[in-house]
Amino acid sequence: MEVILKQDVQNLGYTDDLVKVKDGYGRNYLIPQGFAVLATESRKKMLAETLKQRAFKAEKIKKEAEFLAGKIEGLTLKILTKASEKGTIFGSVNTIAVANALKEQHGIEVDRRKIILKDDHIKELGNYTAQVNLHKEIKVEIGLEVIAEE
């Protein structure tokens, strides 16, 4: 019996996979639990169309991420913050500050959750790097220059 999985099933497959299972397993467990549907010809055609559309959307998202990566790559952000005479920052520089600096200085909006600092919070003046995860396959490093406000 061929079924189309509606959700991930451990040791069997992932969502929208077309799998062959024993009749009893499909009829008595997968279909009644809502994990799968019977793979008829019309459902196979619908699945093929759904996968085609999903691939098109994924490709579009990846191209947008590549374009944004080209704009971001090699940038150095200057982050002004209050600091003591010894170079210790009052508070810390986090991903929110990096996202705001990227928007203010270059007009590029990136979700702060996509920015990863090598150190969780920057607590001293100096030069640092941050990684921006634009897509699961596209990661860009940007430079951070943390300087004291005057």
| DSSP states along 13-28 | B-TT-EEE--HHHIII
Q: Where exactly are the structural domains of the chain? A: 2-66, 69-148
For 47-87, write each residue's pLDDT tens digit: 999 999 999 999 999 999 899 999 888 889 999 888 888 88
Split at pLDDT 50, 70, 90, the class of 121 is confident
Band of residue 140 on the pLDDT scale cut at 50, 70, 90: very high
Residues 6+ apart with CB under 8 A from 149: 80, 81, 82, 83
Q: Give pTM, 2 decimals.
A: 0.66
User: What is the homologous superfamily of the domain 2-66 according to CATH?
Assistant: Ribosomal protein L9, N-terminal domain (3.40.5.10)
Q: What is the pLDDT of residues 91-101, one digit of tens each?
A: 888 889 999 99
69-148, CATH topology level: Ribosomal Protein L9; domain 2 (3.10.430)
In whole angstroms, give the CA distance from residue 145 to residue 150. 15
